[in-house]
């Protein structure tokens, strides 16, 4: 996995107004910590960061930080968490953690389903229960995603975490027995069940009448 470059700059802290000023200017305030070093307050270009989050890098992308005004910040890092606006849902704060490329890390990667599911073709409903899994590996070995072919998945069956295929050097930490995807028959609502029962009740007298006619 090739590390994506993320340009950052140092920022002044002290009041909430300073963070608001960063956001008004189109930036995202954040912090960089970990690695046995002091925490550094940073800001990221909002548009660049949004593109990163919507790329194939996943929800916790690994990046190479580039800071022109503070070269000591230049390091490999993982996006640990992103705080978003409750209504607009745009990033308003980011936590970055320093990592070493020669040490294993724990992170999550998305699970993508592929193929035309036989169970769906037969009238079943597909349920995608697990959309990301936790893994452990070197930062450079983190896959952009893990795919699962559901072509042969039938009604009443499920595919579990144990069936996921990951690259060499990657260890899956998510419980292997958890279902990733399954197919079940559509559930009938209470109103639909009542309508079906009523229709069945109406047909009963007709059936009795037909039997009586046959007996004559």
Q: What is the CATH number of the domain that holds 146?
A: 2.170.120.20
- 171, 161 Cβ separation under 8 angstroms: no
pTM for this entry: 0.72
**Residue 168 domain boundaries:** 106-184
CA-angle at 167, arms to 64 and 109, nearest 5°:
55
Q: Dmax of the chain from CA atoms? A: 102
Per-residue pLDDT tens over the stretch 23-59: 999 999 999 999 899 999 999 998 999 888 887 666 7
Claim to verify: residue 159 and residue 73 sit in the same structural domain: no
Q: What is the CATH number of the domain that holds 17?
A: 2.40.240.10
pLDDT at position 196 is: 57
Tell me whether residue 41 is in a domain: yes
What are the distances in angstroms from CA 74 to CA 33, 65, 91?
Answer: 12, 5, 22
Q: Find, among 78, 74, 31, 76, the residue nearest to 57 by Cα.
A: 78
For residue 140, pLDDT beyond 80? yes
């Amino acid at each position: 996995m090739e590390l994506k470059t993320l340009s950052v700059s140092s920022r002044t802290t002290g009041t909430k107004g300073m963070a608001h000023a960063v956001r008004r200017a189109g930036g995202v305030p954040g912090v960089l910590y970990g690695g046995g070093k002091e925490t550094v307050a940073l800001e990221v270009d909002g548009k660049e960061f949004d593109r990163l989050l919507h790329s194939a890098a996943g929800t916790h992308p690994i990046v190479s930080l580039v800071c022109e005004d503070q070269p000591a910040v230049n390091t490999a890092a993982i996006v640990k968490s992103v705080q978003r606006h409750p209504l607009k849902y745009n990033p308003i704060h980011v936590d970055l953690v320093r990592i070493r490329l020669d040490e294993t890390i724990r992170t999550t990667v998305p699970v993508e389903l592929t193929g035309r599911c036989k169970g769906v073709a037969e009238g079943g409903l597909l349920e995608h229960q697990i959309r990301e899994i936790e893994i452990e590996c070197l930062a450079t070995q983190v896959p952009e995603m893990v795919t699962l072919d559901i072509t042969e998945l039938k009604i009443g069956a499920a595919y579990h975490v144990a069936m996921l295929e990951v690259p060499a050097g990657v260890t899956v930490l998510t419980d292997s027995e958890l279902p990733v995807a399954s197919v079940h028959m559509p559930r009938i609502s209470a109103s639909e069940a009542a309508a079906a029962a009523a229709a069945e009740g109406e047909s009963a007298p007709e059936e009795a009448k037909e039997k009586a006619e046959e007996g004559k």
